[in-house]
Chains A and B, each alone.
Chain A
């Protein structure tokens, strides 16, 4: 009964939350959970001790699950979803505005506060809009950036990341991951990546590590690390570099290309000549910061903060469905986007009022700089199937439609910031546009309509149709201030030297701050030499 009361108390404090069995176990059995985690993260440990710790962890999970199932039978909780590896997630079994009265040793009343009615709910029902994630849209932040250089100890960093997980529903970016390599030996970092990947698995999160090539001293060790780390499905790597560095570090990059080819993994590049603020990968799409704001962060706050919030709330739009079911004209698209802005504003307002309760873990971890951690955060509107490379879509009209709606959204944000500032509540409302990843929306939204190209060699970049498509993507990069991505799918023979030349060509000739190279087609030697560009 005691455990059940503790679980009830957990949900009473945060009635809108959706918690996994692991999260509940960690909250209820904190000392025991920490002891097990410590045992499992020991570097040199007797295999018997590991087995014991794992057995203990499983026992603890079973015990919590037993009580959770009882609470489900009593209609106090319900299973909201099943995560990876079948882990169950729980939430209160009541609707907004309803109350549960639990008569036990003491009488407990739990109520779910009313969430405001939002002008996008109709679109949500029609499958035009998806909120990331519907169950944790208000209670959690999308993404944070952690400065690796602020941590001397990998254990402390791992503890910090795990501490933040309960307040996040998408991803954590580890900036300047090269700093970790400087301070730790290869086996420690390998072990760290393993643990990160495993925790991401448990908690359903993604980690993105950003490597500044200019700061990467131990290139050989890093390649060794990558042989193993590349297999970590929840951890991705972004190489922040510039055209000049490709040439200087050609041997390193060639080996890297081979490694990614062998693992059939995407190789992400950020062109540092074009974009200074970190580019990262989340579950639903890329994240980045505003360039001007990042410059002031580097000037004024760099070295003071362990983490900053990158994205607060995200709405994903199936633009194709909007065009076909609503309209394909500038005014209606603008009004639709203003409704999204209005909704994000309402959600931010709730988050502001309940921030101490909702983001308590992040706040606790950053107590000295509470007022600075949200200083650069933005909300995201991600677009799927929006018309780029659609054969029947006028690309000029597309750019025009998006820029008009972005202008209106920016004006709305500025008005709200002016109002709040003048009322003595200086806060920010920033809404960034970005793209959505196909892997995230494939079971939610319409089928991809865009054209696909494959690439075989550098000459393809001189073809008029390819140049046109890349140029329209350059314009979209300017509009998608929350970050965009272009993918080059390589076919033909694997020649790392040639591929490196192609990457350098893109960096030197196009304004594409973030792109990825995929080698999936290289193995298919029988394919025609075509380019394959995908968002």
Chain B
């Protein structure tokens, strides 16, 4: 487990850990990765949560999505037509039947603050357990625990690109935690991500080294 106060420290430490301990393999799209299984990362503070994104924006070789777009993906219940899937509709309008946050998590935690049932799912077997489907959600489960007046959030990510993906994932979790926290009227607690496949691509190595050494 990697436990740090700030997102930037946790990100850099996890990248270092994967480079040192990861096992090399070629994925189904023929890209070579280094991978570790079941990596748990904890962040104590939400302060400067966007620092990893700011660093990625320093590079001229790509354009990282704007924060507005990253947060819209998790908070909007509408599916933008050119996304293969979107987290928002899975959370707020799952199978067009249930708003998992407003109709379940928030009322549940208001009524039973110590509940262990405040879990939402994003993977939809009806839609995603499909051999030909290229893109299915990486973020599969989000859990909320309200303890000592603080809302803790844990995300299970089945496949996590730790260089490009994790900075956005942690920001999305922050946005969702903040949304629920405000509705409950409580403080923010810890943020955990549990990445079943935590990996980096070999073609990112040059940039990962720069992140570790220059920022």
Contact = CB atoms under 8 A, between A and B. Distances in A.
Interface in B79-104: 79-87
B135 A377 contact: no
Interface stretch (B9-17, B41-49, B65-73, B182-190): B65-73
20 contacts: A342-B63, A349-B66, A352-B69, A353-B69, A355-B82, A356-B80, A371-B83, A371-B84, A374-B82, A415-B61, A419-B62, A419-B63, A419-B64, A425-B65, A425-B69, A425-B70, A425-B73, A425-B86, A426-B83, A426-B84
B19 interface: no
Nearest to A425: B73
A424 B168 CA distance: 8
Given A349-B69, A415-B62, A422-B165, A427 B132 contact: no
Contacts of A476: none
Contact of B168 (A359, A416, A422, A428): A422
A299 B133 CA distance: 12
A425 B83 contact: yes
Interface centre among B80, B135, B138, B160 (most CB of A within 10 A): B80
B24 interface: no
Contacts of A424: 73-74, 86-87, 137-139, 165, 168-169, 172
B178 interface: no
B78 interface: yes
A348 B82 CA distance: 10
Contacts of B163: 422
Contacts of B132: 296, 299-300
Interface string A335-354: 00000001001101101110
Interface residues of A, number: 35
Contacts of A377: 82
Contact of A352 (B83, B137, B138, B164): B83
A363 B81 contact: yes
Interface in B128-173: 132, 134-135, 137-139, 160-161, 163-165, 168-169, 172
Given A377-B82, A418-B201, A423 B169 contact: yes
A155 interface: no
B83 A423 contact: no
Nearest to A362: B81
Given A353-B69, A356-B80, A371-B79, A423 B164 contact: yes
A374 B81 contact: yes
Nearest to B64: A419
A194 to B, nearest CB: 33
A428 B80 CA distance: 13
Interface of B: 61-66, 68-70, 72-74, 78-87, 132, 134-135, 137-139, 160-161, 163-165, 168-169, 172, 201
A419 B164 contact: yes
A426 B81 contact: no
A159 interface: no
B85 A426 contact: yes
Nearest to B159: A422
A377 B61 CA distance: 24
Given A342-B63, A371-B85, A422-B160, 4 more contacts: A355-B82, A363-B81, A421-B165, A426-B85
B82 A428 contact: yes
A70 to B, nearest CB: 37
A373 B69 contact: no
A356 B82 contact: no
Nearest to B70: A423
B85 to A, nearest CB: 7
Interface SS of chain A: helix
A480 B138 CA distance: 34
Interface string A367-397: 0001101110100000000000000000000
A68 to B, nearest CB: 31
A427 B83 contact: yes
A345 B164 CA distance: 17
Contacts of B172: 423-424
Given A353-B69, A416-B63, A370 B137 contact: no
Contacts of B83: 352, 371, 425-427
Contacts of A426: 83-85, 134-135
A359 B80 CA distance: 11
Contact of B62 (A296, A353, A356, A416): A416
Nearest to A299: B132
Ranked nearest first, the 8 interchain pairs of A and B with the lowest CB-CB distance are: A422-B165, A423-B168, A422-B161, A374-B82, A426-B135, A426-B84, A422-B164, A370-B81
B139 to A, nearest CB: 6
A66 interface: no
A420 interface: yes
B165 to A, nearest CB: 3
Contacts of A425: 65, 69-70, 73, 83, 86
A3 B205 CA distance: 61
A300 B61 CA distance: 35
Contact of A345 (B63, B69, B85, B138): B63
A349 B72 CA distance: 13
Interface string A282-312: 0000000000000010011000000000000
A420 B82 contact: no
A427 B160 CA distance: 17
Contacts of B84: 371, 375, 426-427
Contact of B82 (A296, A419, A427): A427
A348 B80 CA distance: 12
A423 B78 contact: no
A425 B168 CA distance: 10
Contacts of A418: 161, 164, 201
